[in-house]
């Protein structure tokens, strides 16, 4: 199964402790962005959902999610890999060119901006 690993590291000014709401919101935003990309890019027969496989509260805070296809007879691996690649490439492009990828709608852009804001704000 395909997985995503989301790791949230505290800044040195946080003395190694993350604010709970901030850490959780960062994970939620990352998953929401992946889900929005999926809705825009994956055919309805190949959709999947992210299921929590494990989370560690030790620093750094890490969440591992596994993609589970909604239709068990369909291999979601190609779709999962495409989404991970498109989100990664799209965020890098957005940072470099201030131009979002075509799959990003207004809500996706807002989520990406929140992710960027939090990263720039510690």
Quote the tokens at residue 8: 């949230």
**pLDDT confidence bin for 108, thresholds 50/70/90:** very high
Model pTM?
A: 0.88
Closest by CA position to 39, among listed 105, 88, 85, 97: 105
Question: Does the pLDDT value for residue 34 go beyond 90?
Answer: yes
pLDDT tens track for 44-68: 888 999 999 999 987 789 999 999 9
What is the per-residue pLDDT for 60? 86
Report the alpha-carbon distance of residue 11 to residue 9 in Å, rounded.
7
Q: At what angle do helices 20-41 and 106-120 cross, to 10 degrees?
A: 150
């Amino acid at each position: 199964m395909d997985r995503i690993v989301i790791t949230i590291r505290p800044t040195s000014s946080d003395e190694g402790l993350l604010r709970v709401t901030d850490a959780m919101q960062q994970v939620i935003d990352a998953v929401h962005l992946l889900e929005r990309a999926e809705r825009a890019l994956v055919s309805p027969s190949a959709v999947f959902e992210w299921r929590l496989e494990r989370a560690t509260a030790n620093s750094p805070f890490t969440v591992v999610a596994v993609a589970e296809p909604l239709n068990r007879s369909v291999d979601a691996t190609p779709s999962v890999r495409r989404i991970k690649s498109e989100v990664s490439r799209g965020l890098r492009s957005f940072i470099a060119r201030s131009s979002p990828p075509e799959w990003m709608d207004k809500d996706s852009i807002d989520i990406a901006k929140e992710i960027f804001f939090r990263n720039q704000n510690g």
